[in-house]
Structure formats: C-alpha cells, structure tokens
Structure 1
Amino acid sequence: MATSDFVLGGLASVGATFFTNPIEVIKTRIQLQGELAARGSYVEPYKGIVHAFITVAKNDGMLGLQKGLVPALYFQFIINSFRLSIYTTAVEKHWMHNKNGEISYGLGLMWGAIGGVVGSYCSSPFFMIKTQLQSQAAKQIAVGYQHTHTSMMGALSEIYKKNGIVGLWRGSLAALPRAAVGSGAQIATFGKTKAMLQEYDFVTHPTYNSFCAGLIAGSIMSVAITPPDVISTRLYNQGVDAQGRGLYYKGWLDCCFKILRTEGVYGMYKGFWANYLRIAPHSTLVLLFFDELIAMRQKYQ
C-alpha cells in the first residue's frame, strides 16, 4: 500500500466533507426523530430536507449546520485513506481483474468491503463523536438521546474517563456491515463504471470519466447503505448506563429488530433522500479529487 495513496485518499475526502457535512447533520436528525415510535405517533421537527435546513439554521444558527465537522474530517480522512489506498493497490496489482484482464465487479466488491471495514474500525471513535455532536440541538427541535459534549476533544476525554478504550470503540463492530456494504458497492461500481465508460467511448476525458463514475457509484451506494447507516446512527448516539451498556439497543441485530417492530421498513430508510444528497455528491467529489490528486502526483514525479 503506497503511503502517498493513503494520504491522498484522506485529503480527497477532507475536501469533500466541507461541502457535504451540513446535509450529514440533517440526515442524522431525520434518522433519529421518532426513534422506536410508530409512524405518525410523534412530533416531527424535521418535515423534509428543506424544512430541516431552515429549522436547524433558525434554532441552532447557521453554524449549527456544521456541527460535528471536526470529527467528521478525522473520520473521513482515516476511512478513505484506507479505502482508496487499498482500492488503488488492488487495481495496480491486478487483484481486481479477472482472467481476461477486465475489472471484476465481484472482486471490486470484495476489496471495497475490505477497505471499508478496516477504515471504519480504525475511525470508529470519530464517527461516534460526529454523530453525537450532530444530534445535539436546541430543546425545541431535539431528537434522539442528547449528549452534552462541547467539543471533539472534550467528548473523547469524557468517554475515555467513563468507559476507557472500550467506550471509544463502542458500536465499532456493529458499524462494520455499514462499511462493508457501502464501501463495497461504491468501490466496485466506480471501478467497473470507469472501465465501461472508457471501453464504449461514452466518457473518455479523465476528469469527466471520474465525475460520472463517481456519481453513479454514489447513487448505488446510497441505496445500499441507508438501512445499516440508520442502525449505526442509532447505536452510536444512544446513551449508556454505568457499565457502558446501551440504554436502547444491545447490538446491531437487536437494533434492527426493534426498528422493524416499532417503525417498520420505513424506519430503516429514514433520511434516505438526505443520505442520497450527501452520499452522491460526496462520493463524486471524493473519487474525483482522488483521481485528480493521483494524476497530479504522477505528473510531477
């Protein structure tokens, strides 16, 4: 794995996160509203994406739309450093190619999932803090369990003092299905789509090719990742008792069953459009920035 690819993968995601974090805040709030309540039985402070933007800006201020930005940058840098560097290594070593020399979608899924799982586990504490900070809101629009963090470092210190290293990695194993599904779908689709667009002369310009492939990959990813993303958001945001055990859910499967039982299939797709509007442009920008940074590195070598 090239060190430069590791760094470039992280930098590409950091650039994209500045643009997409506000929609991530909206997505988190929508996923948490009506937690474990039947549809139509609760007050909805966020009645759609546009209304949610206005509501957050009005009650939390414009800076409220960038809540959790710092841990989000750390999370994105770490997870995408692993994902994208593993992806490029797999491509360069021809680990993603079949016997005919073509990129295999199945192998792309496998290597994308591996990169996502490694990156997700290593970056898990920052994803948890990001989620908890993004959910914090003014009392009149608060949804989900409300933590009292004032900063990323304060949150990390508080959790470590109460529950140690285990507390910082709480929910990390449950987040692995999210990472495997989302990353696998994105990386496999991106590699295969790039090759097909070039092979059939649809989009051959390198920048446009990366942009189109990234957009398609992000669309596929958003459909695949929403249910495990809802579960991860709920698990990371829930409060814990004195022994560090979750107040609402015991784990991934328990969370899944409780959501389906109380909220139905609809609950598993809460925040889908917000997720799509975040993932599609974020995926496009990350993969585009990454390809452009790789091209720049090769140009000046």
Structure 2
Amino acid sequence: MTELVTPQKANPVKFFIAGGFGGMCNVITGHPLDTIKVRLQTMPLAAPGQQPRYKGVIDCAVKTFRQEGFRGFYRGISAPLLGVTPIYAVDFAVYAAGKRLFQTDDHIRLTYPQIFTAGAFAGVCSALVTVPTDRIKVLLQTQTVSGGPQMYNGTLDTAVKLYRQGGFKSLFKGTCACILRDSPTGFYFVTYEFLQDLARKKSKTGQISTTSTILAGGTSGIVFWTLAVPFDVLKSRLQSAPEGTYKHGIRSVFRDLMATEGPTALFRGVLPILLRAFPATAAVFFGVELANDFLN
C-alpha cells in the first residue's frame, strides 16, 4: 500500500476521488453507532421520578432493535451516503490543495504545522458541504423516538419539506455549529501523518502497511472526536429542534443546556462516538489509500 503523504506534490483531483470513496467506507461502517449517538444526544431530559428514554449505549441499541429492527440502525443513511462523496472528496481535495501551497518542489516533506494548517482549512470547507446532509440525517434518526407522527419520509422528502418551510436557511441550519465541530480536523490529519511517519521509519521497505493505515486512521478519529464531541452535541440539539426553539442558534443551545443539564450534557453520546470513531475513520483512510493505489 502506498502512503497518503507522498514526496510528490499532492494531487487535488486524485485526492477528490479517493476521498469520496473513503467517505463511503466511513458511512457504511459507522452509521449504526452514529444513530445511537444522535438519539442519546437529542433525548429529552427525564421528568422527576421518571426513567430517561435511554439508560446508555446498550439500552439504546436494544430498544432500537426491538422497535425498528436492524434497519433502525441505518435510518437516515441515504442522506450521508449521498452526500458523503462531495463531503469527503472536498475534505481531501482541499487538504491536498493546501499541501501544494507549501510544497515548492516534488521532494519537499511538509512540517506538522503545515499539515495542521492544510487540514484545518479542509475541515472548514467540508463542513459547509456537510450541513444539509447532517440536518436531514439527524431529523430522520430522531423523528421515530420523538413520540409524535412522522413528518419526514426519506431523504428527498425531508429536503423538500425543509426547503418549503424555510428555504436554504432551514437546510443549512447549524452551519456555525458544524464548522466548530469540524474545526479540529487539523489534529485529525496531523495524528494520521505522524503515526504513518513512525510506521515508515520502522518499516524495512519504507512503505506503509494496511495494518499501520488502520491503526493510524482509527487513532486519528479518536483524537478528532474527543475534541469535537461538545460541538457535535450542540449541533445535534440545534438541528433536531423545531423551528424557533433556539433564536440565537448554537449560543442559545449552549445556554439552555448549561441551565437545565449542566456541563456533563456536552459529552452525552461520547461512548458511541468513540466506539464508532476508530473503525469508521480507519475505514476512511483505508479507502483513500486503496483508491490511491488503484489510481496510481
């Protein structure tokens, strides 16, 4: 397997294609735990004397399976699956373009601060593409447990109804929250490149292996999501709330969460997030490296 960081100048077109394929691998691998994560993040605060809707990851998984079957874990997957190609394609293409800005010739190897800068810029750009699919996904994942009638029937129906309700503003609800959630992307790429550099030094051939790609990719996902969890909670709350609930966006969500549930609520759903982070992110980088090998 070749390496994501090559001595040649990064090719944004190749990274665009490889990133899209890696993103598809991510969604298929991680969506069940993403559904559990969103449901834990958005469940209402239990009334005094009542049990919470879900006691934890296992309880949420059991209830989801009992009520909706195996398909319940993949509810809302079509939105990220359809949107994942441009999202990850943009992420890796912008990352490659950012790297090219620092590469004065074909043989220069970037420093970690330069990798961080390119990765952070990629995170902001990909977040702008992510918002509509994230909004649709969250609504589809949470509507079956809200207790009311189902308002949306699939990805396209949700997109049309959101547009009719509030135009593009409704579809892009949670943009600032999404940018904040994806802002640690610089750490994501730095962690991956650093671990692959260590693996390359230990390798007799100077090439990276499939095992090192999986370990480096999974670890980078753990690092990223550890930093991103609080912003992801705020984003999920904002995107799943009825129109007009939070007048000042993520600031209103934060104030309400602190007043009613306290700081620990910012880490609700952290267990399924971290359980999902390793295999899902490992799948991204494995898919990217595999696609790069094929394109080479």
Q: Compute the TM-score of the two structures, normalised by the length of structure 2.
A: 0.86
Cα displacement (A) at 1:277? 1.3
The correspondence of residues 23-102 of structure 1 with structure 2, limited to 5 A, is: 23-35=33-45, 43-91=51-99, 93=100, 95=102, 102=109
Flag the 1:107–1:260 CA change in 2: closer, same or farther, 3 A.
farther
Partner of 1:237: 240
Flag the 1:269–1:17 CA change in 2: closer, same or farther, 3 A.
same
The correspondence of residues 106-117 of structure 1 with structure 2, limited to 5 A, is: 106-117=113-124
AA of the residue aligned to 2:119: G
CA contact (8 A) 1:69 1:130 kept: yes
CA contact (8 A) 2:94 2:125 kept: no
Task: Kindly provide the CA deviation profile for residues 53-106 of structure 1, in whole angstroms up to 9, marking residues without a partner as x.
Answer: 111010122211110000021332222111112223444x27389xx9554333
CA contact (8 A) 1:96 1:107 kept: no
CA RMSD of superposed structures (Å): 2.6
Which runs of structure 1 show a deviation greater than 4 angstroms over 4 or more consecutive aligned residues?
A: 200-204
AA of the residue aligned to 2:86: I
The structure 1 residue matched to 2:131, chosen from 118, 121, 124, is 124
What is the aligned length? 283
Matched, 1:20 2:18: no
Q: Compute the TM-score of the two structures, normalised by the length of structure 1.
A: 0.85
Q: SS at the partner of 1:175?
A: helix
Partner of 1:213: 216
Flag the 1:146–1:112 CA change in 2: closer, same or farther, 3 A.
farther
CA contact (8 A) 2:196 2:208 kept: no
| Separation in structure 1 between the aligned mates of residue 211 and residue 230 of structure 2, nearest angstrom | 31
- Higher relative contact order (Cα pairs below 8 Å, separated by 6+ residues): 2
Q: SS at the partner of 1:136?
A: helix
Partner of 1:188: 190
| Separation in structure 2 between the aligned mates of residue 193 and residue 90 of structure 1, nearest angstrom | 20
Most deviating of 107-116 and 279-288: 107-116
| Separation in structure 1 between the aligned mates of residue 260 and residue 83 of structure 2, nearest angstrom | 31
Runs of at least 5 residues in structure 2 that lack an aligned partner in the other structure: 1-10
Q: SS at the partner of 2:237?
A: helix
Partner of 1:175: 178
The structure 1 residue matched to 2:269, chosen from 245, 249, 271, is 271
Runs of at least 5 residues in structure 1 that lack an aligned partner in the other structure: 241-245
Q: Identity rate of aligned residues, in percent?
A: 20
